[in-house]
Amino acid sequence: MAIFLSQSTDDGDSRLLRIAQTTHADTSDIERLRTELIQKLKRLEYPQPIERSIYRHKKTFYQRLETAEALPALLEPSTLKKIYRCLLIRKIVAEDRRLADKRLSIRQYPLRFHAHLAKEVERHLDQVRSLTQKHKVPDSYLKTYFDVTENRLMHELRLLALSRWPGSRKELLSGRRDEQLTTDEAIFWRLKITLARHPFSSRFLRQLSKLISAPADVKELSNDLALYRAITRRMNKPQRFARN
């Protein structure tokens, strides 16, 4: 996602890129994430899903993190901001789908409106130019007017173009189609770095990743097999080196 967001509109504008660049976190988002995360950590036991056996009442995620003295690192504002950035993947894709399904522009107005407005602005420009030619009035007389109106026309045409070239969700999702799996994996690699000094297993980090991305009222996590396979494929994927 970082690579995707680092692109500029000069590299190739798209609806998806515009959504990503205008989606950001503020202080209230990070504080809400922190509050919900602590609640989930204290509510859910590890491991997940809940194992139906005589060994019940295991330690919660919160207790395990607290015992390992890893809570400060996880709840550090800079860490939460990076985690929230991972969670934005789902939000960006959901907004892209909503605009496509409802036939709206990135300005939230119907595409039909922009199409009709562009047509009317273009027709009006043609009429004004015909009028100046008829009366032999130089374009310089209405230069400012022409500049402003032509800019409005280009703006409307660009909004229409963005709906026709929405961008590649596959690029944002690192080659995948499942935004939830991509989100979970992004969080996993962030935790791998943040909690590197603490003795947590890969399984714990996978399930912690799923807990972080789960709804605030989650009662139980699904198994982490898909995430395990995604991480394994990523680790076994051969690295490409650029030739000098």
- Tell me, yes or no, whether 93 and 21 share the same domain: yes
Residue-level pLDDT at 63: 96
Supply the pLDDT for residue 215.
94
Q: Are residues 153 and 34 in the same domain?
A: no
Please state the pTM of the whole predicted model. Answer: 0.73
Do 86 and 131 fall into the same domain? no
Q: Are residues 31 and 89 in the same domain?
A: yes
Last residue in a domain, options 129, 145, 164: 164
Q: For the chain, how many structural domains are there in total? A: 2
pLDDT tens, residue order, the chain (244 aa): 554 444 544 445 788 888 877 776 667 889 999 999 999 999 999 998 766 555 566 899 999 999 999 999 999 999 999 999 889 888 888 888 899 999 999 999 999 999 999 999 999 999 999 999 999 999 899 999 999 999 999 999 999 988 887 666 666 666 566 888 989 999 999 999 999 999 899 999 999 999 999 999 999 999 899 999 989 987 876 544 333 3
Assess whether 158 and 193 both reside in one domain. no
Report, in angstroms and rounded to the nearest whole number, the Rg of the chain calculated over CA atoms: 25
- The per-residue pLDDT for 243 is 38
* Residue 87 belongs to a domain: yes
> Is 241 a member of any domain?
no
Residue 8 within a domain:
no
Contacts of 79 (CB under 8 A, 6+ apart): 73, 190, 194
Residue 5 belongs to a domain: no
Residue 231 identity (one-letter amino acid): I
Same domain flag for 25 and 95: yes
Q: Are residues 97 and 182 both part of a single domain? A: yes
Question: How many Å apart are CA 20 and CA 63, to the nearest integer?
Answer: 36
140/51 same-domain check: no
Range(s) of the domain holding residue 179: 13-103+175-235
Q: Could you give the C-alpha distances from 89 to 43, 149, 179, in angstroms and in order?
A: 25, 37, 7
CA distances from 190 to 28, 79, 164, 219 (A): 21, 8, 34, 24
Are 180 and 230 contained in the same domain? Answer: yes
* Same domain for 179 and 78: yes
DSSP class of residue 238 equals P
**CB-CB neighbours of 204 under 10 Å:** 19
